[in-house]
């Protein structure tokens, strides 16, 4: 049965279980609030104070009947079971007036590489590009079962060191690999993903297996469907190895099983919340993984772990079957070791599914033959000059800009727009998604109890102020579009090089913790996140302690092909991604 139909039937069943058929629902909403739960005049006065609104006593008295009628509506609403995969009926677009995007579908062209030879020790391919692994599979030098067993062995061997796996899927993986081998042997080769192992962040649903969201409150949760990205990769012949760790409720690198570690420094967390996807990919335990990002969860752990992680434009990849933090900001994307690997994965998953209606029809037109020197390339000069950034990261960033100039790239200086970005921190979307958790009292099962604080704070955000902040978000997006209007791609410092940046999505600390004002690096990062621009984190050197540094290649909405072309040229010229974490090297 179509998943969309399933969701609608579950919603209707929720209405019915509450005694609310279509004819009864209006009557229920006209009901008065239960006796003893009426809003009184003093309570209304306090509520208006929380909203920062001054209204006269006579006007407040006149409001009471309507306020209590709304209270009755809330009571009725709380009794309806709304399935997690039901999103609000409005859809965010990252495109602002005047912004041009390429809507013409073009042929996809990957790099031409010589066919590699299978090494005597198969484990030597653990860090190879997907394109080379695909050639081994296509030419049947290596079977999918062999490749799958090798990566599963590495996952089992090293998981104790970096704590990146929530659920091993050995049986499923070997079943899928066996099927892939049979299809390839029969001449039904589906493309570069056929027989390719991968890992999924554990907020992505896989039918028949736990999807824990990294939380003690959901550690036994089963979701009775596959996420769209799981379906797309399976249809392309890919082999799912494991559900990989996520910070609890997609925030940070701490989950109910402990902390996920940086493979370059086990005394350090991997950052989050795509903690497991980044650490396992960087350690050569999976060829690639799918992560998610709301406010830093692909770029941050990729930068910390030395992976190459792509945060796509909002609307590129379906989020159906994936835990939500913000319906107007969540994105799924590949975490790989090589830039073109990201393009290969995107060629499979960047398409509509008719389930996540925010997904655009704008095509992902990858062409590795494109001349990067013809791109207009900018950089946020004032952000790179932030004095409080880590000196080693600043040094490597300067070397990156110099390398690009050596490669024939003319860099155009840009300026981070001034904007009151902190006002846009008014947020309620995550609280909506987890409302049932809090009202049921099950938030006591959360691994980190303080995560519920931010959800509770959202309970007293007035709808008017929230929507006003979203209108301000539109103004901010227009400002950022103006600042980047003259370029195809631009560079920005990675926030991990900033000691004041947490670099993780979601509610991770007390809601009332004061924050220092953002510097230019943080200002741009927050603006690009809220505007849902695509970005790629990739290693650009190493610190004195041997851990990787990273830089962000950015683009305007749906500019991933241009972004990846430039980033690939830089990565091919420098090769920082080819170095392996010593504890995991082969």
* Structure token digits, residue 584: 């995991």
Integer angstrom CA distances of residue 94 from 101, 212, 327, 475, 520: 11, 30, 13, 12, 22
Question: What confidence tier does 84 reach under pLDDT thresholds 50, 70, 90?
Answer: confident
Give the residue, 505 or 446, on which the prediction is more confident. Answer: 446
Average pLDDT, the chain: 91
Nearest to 344 by CA among 100, 174, 575, 128: 128
pLDDT at 37: 80
> Who's near 367: CB < 8 A, 6+ residues apart?
106, 107, 108, 109, 561, 565
pTM above 0.75, yes or no: yes
Lowest mean pLDDT among 6-10, 165-169, 177-181, 254-258: 6-10
Which residue reads 């990846």 in tokens?
Answer: 564
Q: Are 199 and 162 in contact (CB under 8 A)?
A: no
Give one DSSP letter per residue of 73-128, joined into a string: HHHHHHTS---TT---S-------TT-----S----BPPP-PPPPPPSSGGGGGG-
> Who's near 402: CB < 8 A, 6+ residues apart?
none
Question: What confidence tier does 4 reach under pLDDT thresholds 50, 70, 90?
Answer: very low
Bridge-based pairing state of the strands 331-336 and 289-293: antiparallel
* Structure token digits, residue 133: 């692994």
pLDDT digits (tens, 9 = 90+) for 141-150: 999 999 999 9
- Is 134's pLDDT higher than 80? yes
pLDDT at 515: 65
What residues does each domain of the chain span? 19-78, 127-418+484-579
**255: which strand partners?**
258
Extract long-range pairs of 25-33: CB within 8 Å, 24+ residues apart: 25/76, 28/76, 29/72, 29/73, 29/76, 30/69, 30/72, 31/72, 31/75, 31/76, 32/68, 32/69, 32/72, 33/68, 33/69, 33/71, 33/72, 33/75
* Structure token digits, residue 149: 């067993």
Encode 381-412: b = buried (16+ Cβ within 10 Å), e = exposed: bbbbebeebbebbbebbeebbeebeeeebebe
Q: At what angle do helices 228-235 and 339-349 cross, to 10 degrees?
A: 100
pLDDT at 444: 94
Nearest to 557 by CA among 302, 360, 309, 326: 360
Alpha-carbon gap, residue 230 to 204, rounded angstroms: 8
* Structure token digits, residue 506: 């979601």
- Is 500's pLDDT higher than 70? no
Alpha-carbon gap, residue 419 to 490, rounded angstroms: 19
pLDDT at 538: 98
Q: Are 230 and 205 in contact (CB under 8 A)?
A: yes
pLDDT at 26: 44
- Is 261's pLDDT higher than 70? yes
Q: Does domain 127-418+484-579 have CATH number 3.90.1300.10?
A: yes
Alpha-carbon gap, residue 453 to 458, rounded angstroms: 9
Alpha-carbon gap, residue 322 to 350, rounded angstroms: 15
22 burial type by CB count under 10 A (0-12 exposed, 13-18 middle, 19+ buried): exposed
* Structure token digits, residue 155: 């996952």
- Is 195's pLDDT higher than 60? yes
Alpha-carbon gap, residue 273 to 299, rounded angstroms: 10
SS3 of 336-359: ECCHHHHHHHHHHHCCCCCCCCCC
CB-side exposure of 574: number of CA atoms within 13 Å? 26
Q: At what angle do helices 130-138 and 339-349 cross, to 10 degrees?
A: 60
**293: which strand partners?**
331
- Is 497's pLDDT higher than 50? yes
Which residue reads 């497991």 in tokens?
Answer: 276
The DSSP 8-state label assigned to residue 131 in this structure reads: H
Question: What confidence tier does 2 reach under pLDDT thresholds 50, 70, 90?
Answer: low
The DSSP 8-state label assigned to residue 418 in this structure reads: P
CB-side exposure of 585: number of CA atoms within 13 Å? 8
Alpha-carbon gap, residue 204 to 167, rounded angstroms: 12
pLDDT digits (tens, 9 = 90+) for 332-372: 999 999 999 999 999 999 999 999 999 999 999 999 999 99
- Is 6's pLDDT higher than 80? no
pLDDT digits (tens, 9 = 90+) for 9-50: 444 444 444 444 433 344 444 445 455 589 999 999 999 998
Lowest mean pLDDT among 37-46, 252-261, 398-407: 37-46
Alpha-carbon gap, residue 130 to 138, rounded angstroms: 12
The DSSP 8-state label assigned to residue 200 in this structure reads: E
Integer angstrom CA distances of residue 157 from 123, 165, 172, 285, 416: 13, 11, 19, 9, 45
Alpha-carbon gap, residue 375 to 373, rounded angstroms: 5
């Amino acid at each position: 049965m179509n998943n969309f139909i399933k969701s609608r039937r579950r919603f209707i069943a929720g209405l019915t279980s509450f005694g609310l058929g279509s004819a009864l629902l209006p009557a229920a909403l006209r009901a008065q609030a239960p006796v003893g739960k009426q809003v009184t005049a003093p309570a209304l006065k306090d509520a208006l104070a929380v909203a920062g609104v001054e209204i006269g006593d006579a006007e407040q008295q006149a409001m009471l009947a309507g306020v209590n009628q709304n209270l009755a509506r809330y009571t009725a609403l709380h009794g309806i079971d709304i399935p997690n995969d039901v999103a609000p009926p409005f859809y965010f677009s990252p495109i602002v007036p005047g912004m041009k995007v390429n809507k013409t579908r073009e042929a996809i062209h990957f790099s031409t590489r010589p066919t590699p030879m299978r090494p005597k020790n198969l484990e030597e391919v653990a860090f190879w590009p997907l394109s080379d692994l695909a050639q081994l599979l296509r030419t049947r030098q290596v079977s999918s079962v062999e490749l799958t067993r090798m990566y599963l062995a590495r996952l089992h061997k090293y998981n104790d060191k970096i704590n990146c796996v929530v659920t091993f899927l050995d049986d499923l993986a070997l079943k899928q690999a066996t099927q892939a081998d049979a299809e390839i042997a029969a001449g039904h080769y589906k493309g570069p993903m056929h027989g390719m192992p991968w890992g999924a962040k554990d907020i992505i649903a896989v039918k028949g297996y736990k999807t824990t969201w990294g939380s003690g409150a959901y550690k036994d949760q089963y979701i009775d469907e596959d996420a769209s990205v799981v379906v797309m990769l399976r249809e392309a012949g890919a082999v799912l190895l494991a559900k990989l760790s996520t910070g609890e409720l997609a925030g940070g690198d701490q989950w109910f099983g402990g902390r996920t570690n940086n493979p370059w420094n086990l005394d350090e967390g991997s950052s989050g919340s795509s903690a497991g996807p980044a650490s396992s990919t960087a350690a050569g335990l999976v060829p690639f993984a799918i992560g998610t990002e709301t406010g830093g969860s692909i770029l941050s752990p990729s930068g910390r772990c030395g992976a190459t992680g792509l945060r796509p434009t909002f609307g590129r990849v379906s989020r159906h079957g994936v835990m939500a933090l913000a319906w107007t900001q969540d994105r799924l994307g590949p975490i790989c070791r090589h830039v073109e690997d990201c393009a290969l994965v995107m060629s499979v998953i960047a398409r509509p599914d008719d389930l996540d209606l925010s997904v655009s029809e704008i095509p992902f037109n990858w062409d590795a033959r494109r001349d990067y020197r013809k791109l207009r390339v900018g950089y946020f000069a004032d952000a790179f000059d932030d004095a409080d950034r880590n000196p080693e990261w600043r040094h490597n960033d300067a070397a990156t800009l110099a390398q690009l100039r050596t490669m024939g790239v003319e860099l155009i200086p840009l300026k981070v727009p001034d904007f009151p970005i902190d006002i846009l921190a008014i947020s309620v979307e995550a609280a909506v998604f987890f409302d049932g958790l809090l009202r049921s009292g099950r938030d006591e099962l959360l691994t980190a109890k303080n995560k519920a604080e931010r959800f509770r704070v959202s309970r007293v955000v007035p709808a008017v102020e929230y929507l006003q902040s979203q209108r301000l978000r539109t103004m901010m997006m227009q400002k950022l579009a103006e600042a980047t209007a003259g370029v195809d791609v631009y560079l920005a410092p990675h926030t991990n090089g900033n000691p004041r940046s947490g670099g993780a999505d979601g509610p991770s600390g007390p809601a009332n913790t004061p924050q220092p004002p953002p510097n230019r690096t943080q200002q741009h990062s927050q603006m690009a996140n809220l505007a849902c621009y695509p970005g790629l984190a990739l290693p650009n050197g190493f610190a004195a302690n041997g851990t990787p540094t990273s830089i962000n290649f950015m683009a305007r909405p749906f500019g991933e092909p241009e972004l990846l072309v430039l980033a690939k040229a830089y990565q091919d010229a420098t090769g920082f991604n080819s170095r392996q974490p010593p504890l995991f090297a082969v």
